[in-house]
Amino acid sequence: MHATDNEPPTTDNKSGGYILKKSAFLFPGQGSQSVGMGQEFYQEYDVVREVFDMAEETAKMNISKLCFNGPMEELTRTVNLQPAVTTVNLACLAVLKKEGIGHDFCAGHSLGEYSALNAAGVISAEDTIRLVHKRGELMHRESTEHEGAMHAILGLPIAEVDDLVAGVQPQGVVSVANHNSELQIVITGSPQPVEKVSALAAQKGAKAIPLKVSGAWHSELIKGAEQEFKEVLAQIDFSSPEKSIIFNVSADISSEADEIKDLMGRQLCNPVKWYDSMEKMKKAEIETFVEVGPGRVLAGLLKKILPADYPARIYNLANMKQLEKFMKEKI
């Protein structure tokens, strides 16, 4: 059980808001979407409606309709999902800012890393939407040209999964996409090699779960998008972060704008080192974690990663009920 810290948070004198001891904002990505996401905040907050208006104007999409009404099949298409989830992430971030809640660290899972860039002051909200919209288009294009699959492997450590992957790679494209927790690893690649690794993992007692995705994300099968996306990144102004951000590719902090741009260019086809990123936050003695956006994926992973006696407070922030709980307990 994770302990609750009842001491009052420190105050951020610059903003007049709260910085909850040492805190981190975590931003979800693909897989966290649901029909209705963001709707409660949209109804309650002018700043949220402004985020949606900005995103719809930037992406030239009816994002509010997709988020609030679906259907799920349309929402889940990566070309729609990426700007939709990111808009909801930014909307939830706007609520926290409106309520005077600050943070020390941030990170985002794959797609969510773009929201983290905005939260850290690296890119504007408009450029965040521009980037994820283009990223979704390019990934969709590559997925139509290269059939791919992704499976979650549950129950084996990363070293054993790496060995299985290395043994199958001569037969086709397969690699690790996400190291999510100690015993949850996602593999990606061409369908047959992915299925082969899953079968070998099952022989070792692991559970393999096919994921409902339209492409082999974080694999060389979408390499065709990488250079074009780097050219898009080159046109965007990046600033040095105002907050510490831990990056997927390196599982480390970077403070140089050019280096961050390079990391984001490499992120498309490289593994998400989420487990190592959360270990980094643990070493930094983060006490309060807030999943800023739809779903509970990252909070669930965090509870698996942190030791039972680690004094963490873990919150989700995607609707009014969760916000009320958070605001009540933050002091």
- 145-168 pLDDT, tens per residue? 999 999 999 999 999 999 999 999
Give the tens place of pLDDT for each residue, 112-135: 999 999 999 999 999 999 999 999
Residue 210 bridge partners (DSSP): 151
Output b/e per residue, 262-300; b: 16+ Cβ within 10 A.
Answer: ebbbebbbbbbbbbbbbbbbeeeebbbbbbbbbbebbbb
How many helices and strands (H and E) does the chain possess? Answer: 14, 12
pLDDT at 239 over 60: yes
pLDDT at 4 over 70: no
Q: Under CATH, which number does the domain 147-210 receive?
A: 3.30.70.250
- DSSP structural state of residue 11: E
Domain ranges of the chain: 10-144+220-329, 147-210
Torsion sign (Cα): 52, 70, 302, 189: negative
Work out the pLDDT band at 20, boundaries 50, 70, 90: low
Work out the pLDDT band at 185, boundaries 50, 70, 90: very high
Distances (CA, A) of 78 to 33, 122, 214, 284, 312: 11, 24, 7, 34, 33
| Amino acid residing at 285 | E
| Amino acid residing at 17 | G
> For residue 270, which of 256, 243, 249 has the smallest C-alpha distance?
249
Report the share of the chain in percent with pLDDT over 70.
94
* CA–CA gap between residue 300 and residue 285 (Å, rounded): 19
* Run of H or E including 12: strand 10-12
| Amino acid residing at 165 | V
Mean pLDDT of the chain, nearest integer:
93
Work out the pLDDT band at 214, boundaries 50, 70, 90: confident
pLDDT at 1 over 70: no
> For residue 236, which of 129, 107, 80 has the smallest C-alpha distance?
129
pLDDT at 274: 98
pLDDT at 330: 73
Mean pLDDT of 298-317: 95
Give the tens place of pLDDT for each residue, 77-89: 999 999 999 999 9
Which residues does the annotation mark as catalytic? 110, 218
Work out the pLDDT band at 331, boundaries 50, 70, 90: low
pLDDT at 281: 96
Mean pLDDT of 283-287: 95
> For residue 120, which of 264, 225, 5 has the smallest C-alpha distance?
264
> For residue 128, which of 172, 189, 99, 86 has the smallest C-alpha distance?
86
Work out the pLDDT band at 278, boundaries 50, 70, 90: very high
Domain 10-144+220-329 falls in which CATH fold? Malonyl-Coenzyme A Acyl Carrier Protein; domain 2 (3.40.366)
C-alpha triplet 186, 285, 162: angle, nearest 5°: 20
What tokens does 191 get? 């369908």
pLDDT at 296 over 50: yes
For the CA atoms of 277, 282, 288, 292, the dihedral, rounded to the nearest 10 degrees, stands at 10
pTM value is: 0.93
CB neighbour list of residue 287: distance below 8 Å, 6 or more residues apart: 5, 20, 21, 22, 23, 311, 312, 313
pLDDT at 34 over 60: yes
